[in-house]
Amino acid sequence: MSSSNGPARSGSIDPFSNAEVYYGTEDNIKTFKSRGRAFSVVSSHRLCDEASGQPRKFLIEVEETLQSLLKQEDTDSNMQITIEDVGPKVLSVGTAASSGYNRVDVRGTYMLSNLLQELTIAKDYGRKHIILDEARLSENPVARLSRLIKNSFWKALTRRIDGHNIEVAGKDPKDWTDDPRPRIYIPPGAPEQFDYYSQIAKDHPELRLDVQLLPAPITPDYVMQLNDKPGLLALAMQKKLNEATGKEEMVGVPFVVPGGRFNELYGWDSYMESLGLLVSDRVDLAKGMVVNFCFEIKHYGKILNANRSYYLTRSQPPFLTDMALRVYERIKTEPDSKEFLRNAVLAGIKEYHSVWACAPRLDPVTGLSRYRPEGWGVPPETEPSHFVHILTPYAEKHGMTFEQFVRAYNTRAIVEPELDDYFMHDRGVRESGHDTSYRLEGVCANLATVDLNSLLYKYEVDIARIIRVHFNDKLAIPVEFRTPLTKDIEFESSAAWDRRARKRKQTMDKLLWNAEKGMYFDYDTEKKERKEYETATTFWAMWAGLASPQQAAIMTEKALPRFEAFGGLVSGTEESRGAVGLDRPNRQWDYPYGWAPQQMLAWTAFLRYGYQEEAERLAYKWVYMITKAFVDFNGVVVEKYDVTRPIDPHRVDAEYGNQGTDFKGAPREGFGWVNASYVYGLEILNAHMRRSLGTITPYETYHKAVVAQDAF
């Protein structure tokens, strides 16, 4: 059946369609309204059922049902329906086939929370009445979350920077100055962007857009001066034909943001997101982020922590070569794929030489690298009160107010060596991506960490392979991709990169490897000693292929049991973290918290060495934990989890809490790398495992059933 204005909802639309399709028309509602009493008041008891044999659909008045549902079931008034609400957990709704006369019950937390989500989204689309498929409420939770991630969450997290959104993108919630306004900094190598944004500022004075041209070179002194004028850093743009006007215009290359308070192009978040984007067939977005990273390296000298002015001296864990290779494998039949790979490897080579293999990050004695960014002073992106406990004694020492001391210290009018060391390590922790952890606090800038050096080993072997396999073992290096240390190198071959990789492995095996404990540990380059903090980043050595088969076997036997918990891997062991309390609070990158990057890299690591069972078990636990929270807590998907908590793992009582919990009615975006870990993890699991997850079966129960079945 169809209407003259479009397809009829009752018969032609997939019940699992995207929201814009599913709630895109009300035409078919007219059919049911013409039958008489189409909409009846919601009641909490069952009047009758249907026996039509057809998939059931409900005829619902959106606002009335939404308010009744919340009043009855949202007993803690947080605009969510969870297992913690104490309502009757049953709501009667009218069937579409009976024009609302016959009623059936929607029961249980999961279906009622899905009803809340659907009504919330329908209201967002301006719908007053809907026909809702029961299948959409009872949908297999694994299928539902996968569908939301692929069809809704990625879209909600996608950004681009150009004239269409600069007013919003240019504003910074971390701008603590007296006159926050949209501001964008343009690198000197992109004059067309400077002209483009200057014209926008001229044509739209109401935006108050401040367009600034960066100098060359960009120094720590200059970056410090920008603290009073924080702004967005321009990213890659491309020319496209505007079909409406027939004219060519500049548009931003799209990228995916982490979500929540993190609304820019972030470094290692983007790599983790790309793993999920590729699984979701959003190769375009993964490719776009590689293009943006190459732009950052070319114009800013590094992949930035994020594209804000106060991050100009700070990078993040480097993953570009692996990211580019994964994208290349998906686009290699396209005409520009070879050039894409060339630009990526050239950018990776420049980043390696100019960021990680030179001062201040390179330790000249060991040849290993550290998270040790340039700069000084108080990180401007933090809230003013964040360092009060650290800075107040110094302010009192100099007879100044807190604000006076911060300004004097940041401008170097006052020099405090101990404070310089404190913030050097603080910047290192932030660059590491593991902010914060007792593993790194007060020492990070001195550590040759297992994670960073594993990643650089991966760069070395990747670059060697790309040059050898794709560029006939001779890659020309244009001048713009050379550094002061490599200014005379016109060509690169694989041999030099192979040597670097071998040397790094030898040094790491000597200084970082502990065979007795079966782990790689961080190495303190100042004290010349191996640290003893047990960190899940030890498995990054396996991910990179640095560990020998014998080392991988020892790590699987000895290290894995130290980190494995109910919901996957903890970031570090409880023993290493030590006691916590009022004077020593939890840190979010320590026990008992688990993060998507640690899980995904570990799964890939174990698969690389043939440990299929371990990879599947860890992936199952992580995906189960996410699914269970999603079912019990109104579709929640958060930044990080307490992997030791079976009931409410999304509750994290550390530092700023969690991102992704504070939504009304329906989740809109999840969280970038957790979205990725979910769809990536499902790819690792077999069909039996995925079916078990759909019935919310814990790993232990699943495993016992498999063992019992195999016994027959």
Over the stretch 79-114, which tens digit does the pLDDT of each residue have? Answer: 999 999 999 999 999 999 999 999 999 999 999 999
Give percent of the chain with pLDDT exceeding 70.
94
C-alpha–C-alpha distance, residues 531 and 536, integer Å: 14
Q: What is the pLDDT of residues 536-592, one digit of tens each?
A: 999 999 999 999 999 999 999 999 999 999 999 999 999 999 999 999 999 999 999
Helix H or strand E encompassing 129: strand 129-133
Domain segments of the chain: what residues?
Answer: 2-139, 388-445, 566-711
- Residue 369, strand partner residues: 362
Of the listed ranges 27-31, 345-349, 584-588, 676-680, the one predicted with least confidence: 27-31
Residue 49, pLDDT > 60, answer no
Q: What is the pLDDT of residues 371-418, one digit of tens each?
A: 999 998 999 888 767 899 999 999 999 999 999 999 999 999 999 999
- Residue 634's region, left for phi above 0, alpha for psi from -120 to 50, else beta, is left
* Mean pLDDT for all residues in the chain: 94
The predicted pLDDT at position 657 comes to 83
Active site annotation includes 639: yes
Kindly indicate the confidence band of residue 170, based on its pLDDT and cuts at 50, 70 and 90. confident
CA-closest candidate to residue 318, choices 458, 446, 424, 467: 458
Q: Which of 435, 462, 534, 632 is catalytic?
A: 435
Q: Which of 616, 639, 642, 669 is catalytic?
A: 639
Active site annotation includes 435: yes
- CB atoms inside a 10 Å sphere around CB 84: 14
Residue 214, pLDDT > 60, answer yes
Q: What is the pLDDT of residues 447-494, one digit of tens each?
A: 999 999 999 999 999 999 999 999 999 999 999 999 999 999 999 999
Residue 235, pLDDT > 80, answer yes
Contact 328, 341 (CB under 8 A): yes
Q: What does DSSP assign to residue 272?
A: H
Residue 54, pLDDT > 90, answer no
C-alpha–C-alpha distance, residues 668 and 670, integer Å: 6
Q: What is the pLDDT of residues 602-619, one digit of tens each?
A: 999 999 999 999 999 999
Task: State the average pLDDT over residues 205-225.
Answer: 94
Q: Which residue has the tokens 């909490």?
A: 44
Write out the two tokens for 298. 């070319």
Q: Which range has highest mean pLDDT (53-57, 244-248, 633-637)? A: 633-637
Write out the two tokens for 348. 């990776």
Kindly indicate the confidence band of residue 173, based on its pLDDT and cuts at 50, 70 and 90. confident
C-alpha–C-alpha distance, residues 371 and 545, integer Å: 21
3-state helix, strand, coil in the chain (%, to 5): 45, 10, 40
Kindly indicate the confidence band of residue 36, based on its pLDDT and cuts at 50, 70 and 90. very low
